Structure 1
């Protein structure tokens, strides 16, 4: 490797570092400025949300199956790596040709602006955090690149590289603005090496220049980090939803939840609780940044193909006759045997009462619900009008809805997958027709109507567990919301199907748990499970992917008995 190649590569690495630090300034300053705006006005949230919007179903399904409820964290990590790589490239480009570097930064700023301004409910002022952040990032990049050029010129081994970079950036002028030409050398009698040596001699030493560059990098990084952290703290202080939730008091429901019968949870160690704690309840949605709505801010608009259009406030809901019910929810992305399902006690206002007041017109067959962040779901109108207890929920397991689960109001609809029913942060109900309107995930290839498929899950033992020989207790959970589970069977090592002991049923809208004893010898064993519901009968054995309307098939679990 030649001596000139080493410094060139070293300078490129430092230029890449400068680009990454400048990108940190963009994001940090935008985060600080964004504390005074909507969360979606910040670059990371806007870019991430736009990426989610354009994610094809197969990629979304892959992300959920791979990362589960950590899919958003995985997205943010991936975005961070991508932004760092792009910033590194822009840093190198800016060092070699400043004008191109500026063009690249401005192009990235324009992409971020487009992402911000196309979010639901956005307005022109939401562009300010990105504009301020981009301007601060350009300034930081300019300072760091200038420091880097001094570092390069101060090092005789890198002088030629620095001269090339400065010439490209300044149109043939040196650091002092004097044009560098061969004619100058001939007139003065200096050759190139002598002139570079003289220039280097007049500048600080390489060590001093490098220390200055790294000092500038350190200070800039600290500014970016403090700005980002301060922005988050300030946004949290301005949107103190926790205090709002803690201050809420709900009236006693007009129709309380029936008491859970004894024996809804079999005595099998390791079995999922019958009622899922709020902190453990699965969360799958498109909101990269959780909407921050207060109860006072919330208003629901009811309109479309109705005789009466009206609005409901949070106080209107609290003053109405609320109902309380245990309902199991399931995500359409739940694979066979998966854990994207949960059971909770919900408090809310029946949607059939909302629609009774609106009086839908003949021909209407769908309700398009929309959240404050733009997500929408298309729910069959008859499902919201029948005897099932579909509701506008305001509380979950005896406390106000957690912010991540839709505070202040969300929809809960027994029997349908969440992508067509469980709209969180709901602010709009439009009575319409499937022929006229489509929703977020139906636009992306998922089925219009999403009835939950019957499913039996083996939870104990888990796959690849190692158990002691003798009597083995197994157990699990089955669901078929609004149809009800009537039987669960298991097959050991492809043998005959054996009916298991079903736990007590709370209602047809909740899951039902089961248990069974087996006497097994040592070796490798396989247990399969299947359920039967009260309407459609035996759960199908046919294996289907989650796309477009939910997974199906019988689960198999392998384990070892010692």
Structure 2
């Protein structure tokens, strides 16, 4: 391989690096400027949120089953890799023909702008971070490419001079290696300016991104506002949990899920930063009275407190997307009683501040179940990632049709007239939770001591209640387990069972029975379109 060929390939690699660094500057500067705007005005959040909006059901289901609650992190990593690859290509194109490279950068900027402006609640000023970031990136790319061309020109000049010198001393110096050895020092020197420029640009990009995050955090007083909130005593406190609600088997999950461990599945790539003081809920649609509720209106109302188990429709058989918390809030039936829905209405379309929507059957929100506008979770204000300042909690329905976080709008309408976020993407319009049980001990592929082996887990069938759980060990007869005390039909129920096993490979299968529909179905179904079903099978080793 000749020195000129190696030089061209080296320049191509550096051009790709220039494109990646320039893209980093676009994102960093946009992050810095975006600190003064909504989070969705920054390119990464806007593009990521747009991608989520257009994600087909099978891909969403795959992401959650594969990455669980780290699905958003996986998306960000994937976006980072994609952006780096596209930026590298644009850098190479710009090196070879600047006009085409610049056009590509501007096209990417236009795509980002489209993503920003199509976010819920977007306005023209939200364009500013992307415009400034794109301009900075374009200038940086131009600067880096110019330095690279200058380095190439210097290298060619040095190589030509070295070749002439080599010809003049042909009788004194060997041909092999003479040109390369003469050109290499100058070659490194000529590219030093590019590396300095690239390093400076990378540092500026990182500083801008870091500064933007720090500035955004400093401008948001959400944590302080949450800490300062004080709630009145509920008009209807949560009934005390009965003795014996916790399974006696070590390793079974806590009956009440700590806020930090509660699963989070939603479409918000960036957690909305809403203040309680500015929060307003609009109630409208097919009602006799349209009105708005403030956060203070909720605090002044008769709040109720209940333990309720929530379940995600994306929870696979045996999965962990389920949790129980003590919720404080205002009954939604009281909100609708004031609105007085018109005849023919059969659905409430709830919408969050980031544009997500859920379709909840109207009768569910009007019956005697404890469906609420929740303001607190486990004796503290809602965590931001769980919907602060207000979210919906509806017993008996999967979250995708009921548990709207950061809720700001309730429209009384009809299923025939409106589609919610996920029902518009192939999921069922109504999402009653299916009866399910989960084996938590032993864990899959665990190794336990021979002798008495403890088996334990949880079962749930919100609004129907669990009346029995059975296990089958090594495909033997079904045996009823010991049920822990029941807190209510709206919470999960824990269970335990002891069995004596010899050393070897063993399996345990579990099924639950509810008070209305009977034994949990063994028919295997995936999560799409209305939740998984089937009996969980756990394999483990006794040593």
Q: TM-score range by the shorter chain?
A: over 0.9
Distance 2:343 2:220 in 1: 43
* Distance of aligned partners of 1:291 and 1:158 in 2 relative to their CA distance in 1, 3 Å threshold: farther
Partner of 1:418: 399
Structure 1 residue runs of 5 or longer lacking an equivalent are 161-200
Q: 1:53 matched to which residue of 2? A: 53
Q: Say whether residues 1:342 and 2:312 are aligned partners.
A: no
**Structure 2 match to 1:512:** 493
Task: Determine whether 1:561 maps to 2:538.
Answer: no
Partner deviation per Cα, 1:231-263 (whole Å, 9 max, x = no partner): 011111111210010010000000000000000
Contact 2:443 2:538 in 1 (8 A): yes
Cα separation, 1, equivalents of 2:247 and 2:373: 31
Structure 2 CA distance for aligned equivalents of residues 527 and 157 of structure 1: 76
* Residue number in structure 1 paired with 2:451: 470
State the SS of the aligned residue for 2:3. coil
Q: Which blocks of at least 5 consecutive residues in structure 2 are unaligned?
A: 161-181
1:266 Cα shift? 1.5
Are 1:91 and 2:91 matched, yes or no? yes
- Alignment map for 1:147-162 (pairs within 5 Å): 147-156=147-156
Name the TM-score, length of structure 2 as normaliser.
0.95
1:358 and 2:376 correspond:
no
Aligned to 1:74: 74
Structure 1 residue aligned with 2:107: 107
Cα distance per residue 1:483-507 (max 9 Å; x no partner): 0000000000110000000000000
Partner of 2:517: 536
Offset at residue 4 of structure 1 (A): 2.8
**CA offsets, 1:503-538, max 9 Å, x none?**
000000000000000000111000000000001110
Q: Partners in 2 of 1:550 and 1:386 — Cα distance?
A: 23
C-alpha change, 1:211 and 1:311, in structure 2 (3 Å) is same
Counterpart residue number, 1:378: 359
1:483 correspondence with 2:468: no
What aligned pairs does 1:216-227 form with structure 2 within 5 A after superposition?
216-227=197-208
Deviation of 1:211 (Å): 1.5
| Higher mean displacement: 392-401 or 212-221 | 212-221
1:452 aligns with 433
Structure-2 separation of matches of 1:228 and 1:157 = 39
For 2:204 and 2:159, locate their aligned partners in 1 and report how far apart those are by CA, in whole Å. 31
Residue correspondence of structure 1 range 4-19 to structure 2 within 5 A: 4-19=4-19
**Residue equivalent to 2:130:** 130
Give 1:368's aligned residue. Answer: 349
Q: Which residue pairs with 1:30 in the alignment?
A: 30
Q: Distance in 2 between matches of 1:25 and 1:347?
A: 45
* C-alpha distance in 2 between matches for 1:541 and 1:207: 69
User: 1:207 Cα deviation (Å)?
Assistant: 2.5
3-state SS, counterpart of residue 388 of structure 1: coil
User: Contact 2:158 / 2:186 at 8 angstroms: preserved in 1?
Assistant: no
TM-fit CA distance, 1:158? 9.3
Distance in 1 between residues matched to 2:260 and 2:154, nearest whole Å: 57
Instruction: Check whether the contact 1:4–1:158 (CA below 8 A) recurs between aligned residues.
Output: no
Say if 2:25 and 2:204, in contact at 8 Å, map to a contact too.
yes
Which residue pairs with 1:501 in the alignment?
A: 482
Mapped to 1, the partners of 2:308 and 2:424 lie a distance apart of 28
Q: 8 Å contact 1:392–1:409 — kept in the other structure?
A: yes
Are the equivalent residues in 2 in contact too, given 1:409–1:425 (CA < 8 A)?
yes
1:241 aligns with 2:222: yes
Q: 2:313 aligns with which of 332, 337, 341?
A: 332
Q: Are 1:428 and 2:405 an aligned pair? A: no
Mapped partners of 1:241, 1:159: distance in 2: 61
Query: Deviation at 1:159?
Result: 7.2
Kindly indicate whether the alpha-carbon contact (under 8 Å) linking 2:15 and 2:148 is maintained by their aligned counterparts in 1. yes
Q: TM-score, normalised by structure 1?
A: 0.91
Could you tell me how far apart the structure 1 residues matched to 2:158 and 2:201 are? 24
Contact 1:330 1:342 in 2 (8 A): yes
Give the SS at the match of 2:44.
helix
Count of aligned pairs between the two proteins: 520
In structure 2, relative to structure 1, the CA distance for the partners of 1:158 and 1:15 (3 Å cut) is farther
Q: Which residue of 2 aligns with 1:194?
A: none
Q: State how 1:265-284 maps to structure 2 within 5 Å.
A: 265-284=246-265
Distance 2:442 2:394 in 1: 31
